[in-house]
Structure 1
């Protein structure tokens, strides 16, 4: 069953035989079956078998993942997992839109359309306030929803609005709020010919310019999570003129270098992302995990069809980002799955896969011949991080399987103006905890608010 969820995550649209694309996955099938399927048949208690398997799956997928997988806090928290998860399904927030959610909790909402120079039509959301503008940018497969689905007590957008800030929330091209172009429909391959490089070069500057003008040319403060940090480093390194429009950048789980990423799924799949992108192009599939009827139906089947499915659905999140039952607000998971994934291009994934394989932070690799035509060199140029003069705060965790502390340290050494670097002092605080953890306000956001006030 866990193998099925991996297939779902990778090929949500029209289902290909992944064993032909990723031989490595095929080779691990027997191991996964031995570690996951067989125990379910041998054990009399299905739930006990599934729980025992939770600690085996990561090792079956990627043998050198560090142990232990669960802390004592995680194991204790699992007791309440099942009751809390099922209780979350009655939460009306699961099916509410961004506007409906912010209005429900008493906040004003404004929506704008920003058109990039290359024609993408982006939705830019605003929760207006009297203080300086703060711009929030989501991660891969996310949207502006990421900053409110933790609820009014933990959602960063709400907390910033409570503090009086003028809160702006971006949506990258291709996600569910920004699937439009002035001339190219999403059904065409040309629409999806972008990675996070274009998000950094085109989307962020367009939205920042709009906010800058709307606020009366007051420099904004930028907060990015995951890919939201990647795109920022692209923009700031290649467009230093934005030093005048951004006075501070706070990076939550910063992703630039990824040579030490520990996520078993990410490392397992990274060698095949280029192959997958090429194959999907031939099949006419360019979008990854769109927010459409088929995706929503499959999410309901996978994440809402029995206790084992619920375990698998949450465990998939952990296998990507790192384990943390202790901080995870399990009753809120249905709300999270109701708003994620929000869609992305296959090329975004391929670009991250290239970074893992090359251990460098550089532009998209089209192959030596096309690289020579595009860049003038056979190898893609690295992003000139030394150009970034904007003050930056880096926040990371030892248990983040995507933004490894060694990669963050390397990033820190390349950036010339890091004003704050903060290691989360909590065991098992993972990649998604920066936006979804139940105690994220006290763990991270109080520090965020202090840095914003100081700078």
Structure 2
């Protein structure tokens, strides 16, 4: 059955490409040339199916429907903050390469804390877990001055540009990966926060891509290490050759020159969650059961997986109303490249373009030895599909100033639980607060 699932998925992928005018199909170029290759990928999908089946058996659909009337589904970030008793501000910043970004702030008299979301998320996702568990609220109640960043393209109000339109200039606007987020977005937002607060350093919390972009920033622009008093990496990602996400593995061959063909010849520049591929994956992998369809239709869970141990099913309608956020295909392809190469390196544009940009046919590695800011690594040895334990260990060895290496003490804790888990306050955020008091 698993082989059938994955085989049909690959056929579906080919249909998506053929329907887009790319008649060569995906399979001959992808490296997935044997049934054995397909079977290796198929092994992981039943884990997702098993979790959904357990939810169904435990009245998951009934729990989901209990949350369908939650008005938080319809509230934006500032409305959520006001509803739960916090002042809220909106701030705007323009990057060096002319992207216009939006940040949210819960003002406080204490030290500034900058929080950065992960892939397929935006700043509002830190808030949707609720008033007593959301990290921004917890930090604000401790007196911190809380700032939430939005990466370019992630939310509707962070899709501005001085010259380009995200809708009309698709190829040019969406021509970025998490390299540009780390190289331009983070420095612009951090400098703005420091100027507004009259401080010299911020405390930084990043999840997933929010950690990747941080490592890019501090290796490519090492002067920013001095502007970080401590960085807490929730599910840290730099190396990815041991990640377990089957969907990401499925697209991993589409990196480098092939990825550039997909973007520039076919015209796939941004990932639209409502597309034929997602519909195929939802129907083939998860079936047509209502709850399974609801969960599998969300890209966050298809990419990252989930565990029922920390899933608040009643809160899923609120989560689904705000996630997934927008991303460029180039972000996904850059991660795919990391899986293939086993390195933490700049984007592979293909040999000719690489020569122009890097003076080398291959993309250079990021200099992680330049990351000198204190870094705490929060991880889960088993269960996190995106941040593989061996990859986190490799990252730890490369960093010169790891001040905490903490495994979440809960079986089945997964990638999205660092933001949406039922017990995230007890399992994760209390330790963050302890580190903040020390640094």
Please indicate, yes or no, whether the TM-score normalized by the shorter chain is above 0.5: yes
What is the CA-CA distance between 1:16 and the residue it aligns to?
3.9
SS at match of 2:309: coil
- From 420, 436, 439, the counterpart of 1:452: 436
Q: Structure 1 residues 12, 392: closer, same or farther in 2, change over 3 A? A: farther
Q: Per-residue displacement from partner, 1:109-145 (whole Å, max 9, x unpaired)?
A: 1111100111000001101111100000011121101
Using the size of structure 2 for normalisation, the TM-score is 0.86
Q: Pairwise mapping of residues 128-139 of structure 1 onto structure 2 (< 5 A)?
A: 128-139=107-118
- From 293, 297, 315, the counterpart of 1:312: 293
Q: 2-side partners of 1:27 and 1:237: how far apart?
A: 32
Deviates more, 1:201-210 or 1:64-73: 64-73
The number of residues matched between the two structures is 417
- From 223, 228, 242, the counterpart of 1:246: 228
Q: Which residue does 1:337 correspond to in 2?
A: 320
Q: Structure 1 residues 322, 185: closer, same or farther in 2, change over 3 A? A: closer
Q: Which residue does 2:419 correspond to in 1?
A: 435
Q: Which residue does 1:227 correspond to in 2?
A: 209
What is the CA-CA distance between 1:424 and the residue it aligns to?
1.0
- 2:405 aligned with 1:425: no
Using the size of structure 1 for normalisation, the TM-score is 0.83
Q: Structure 1 residues 14, 200: closer, same or farther in 2, change over 3 A? A: farther
Q: Which residue does 1:237 correspond to in 2?
A: 219
Q: Structure 1 residues 12, 143: closer, same or farther in 2, change over 3 A? A: farther
- Gap runs ≥5 in structure 1: 32-58
Q: 2:51 touches 2:308 (CA, 8 Å); kept in 1?
A: no
Q: 2:18 touches 2:25 (CA, 8 Å); kept in 1?
A: no
Q: Structure 1 residues 159, 260: closer, same or farther in 2, change over 3 A? A: same
What is the CA-CA distance between 1:352 and the residue it aligns to?
0.7
Q: Which residue does 1:182 correspond to in 2?
A: 162
What is the CA-CA distance between 1:22 and the residue it aligns to?
2.9
Q: Structure 1 residues 26, 272: closer, same or farther in 2, change over 3 A? A: closer
Q: 1:12 touches 1:289 (CA, 8 Å); kept in 2?
A: no
SS at match of 1:89: coil
Q: 1:84 touches 1:331 (CA, 8 Å); kept in 2?
A: yes
Q: Pairwise mapping of residues 245-264 of structure 1 onto structure 2 (< 5 A)?
A: 245-264=227-246
Q: Per-residue displacement from partner, 1:272-317 (whole Å, max 9, x unpaired)?
A: 2554552343344422137xxx78xx99xx89xx971321332465
Deviates more, 1:219-228 or 1:156-165: 156-165
Q: 1:61 touches 1:264 (CA, 8 Å); kept in 2?
A: no
Q: Per-residue displacement from partner, 1:215-256 (whole Å, max 9, x unpaired)?
A: 112310000000000000000011111122111100000010
- From 357, 363, 378, the counterpart of 2:361: 378
Q: 1:62 touches 1:264 (CA, 8 Å); kept in 2?
A: yes
Q: 1:22 touches 1:269 (CA, 8 Å); kept in 2?
A: no
- From 123, 127, 132, the counterpart of 1:148: 127
Q: 2-side partners of 1:142 and 1:91: how far apart?
A: 20
- From 261, 284, 288, the counterpart of 1:278: 261
Q: Structure 1 residues 175, 447: closer, same or farther in 2, change over 3 A? A: same
SS at match of 2:233: strand
What is the CA-CA distance between 1:74 and the residue it aligns to?
9.3
Q: 2:31 touches 2:253 (CA, 8 Å); kept in 1?
A: no
Q: 2:306 touches 2:415 (CA, 8 Å); kept in 1?
A: no
Q: 2-side partners of 1:361 and 1:206: how far apart?
A: 23
- 2:80 aligned with 1:101: yes
Q: 1:121 touches 1:179 (CA, 8 Å); kept in 2?
A: yes
Q: Per-residue displacement from partner, 1:341-386 (whole Å, max 9, x unpaired)?
A: 1101111111111111111100011122221221122211111001
- Gap runs ≥5 in structure 2: none
What is the CA-CA distance between 1:5 and the residue it aligns to?
9.8
Q: 2-side partners of 1:9 and 1:86: how far apart?
A: 32
Q: 1:127 touches 1:168 (CA, 8 Å); kept in 2?
A: yes
- From 98, 102, 115, the counterpart of 1:123: 102
Q: 1-side partners of 2:349 and 2:112: how far apart?
A: 38
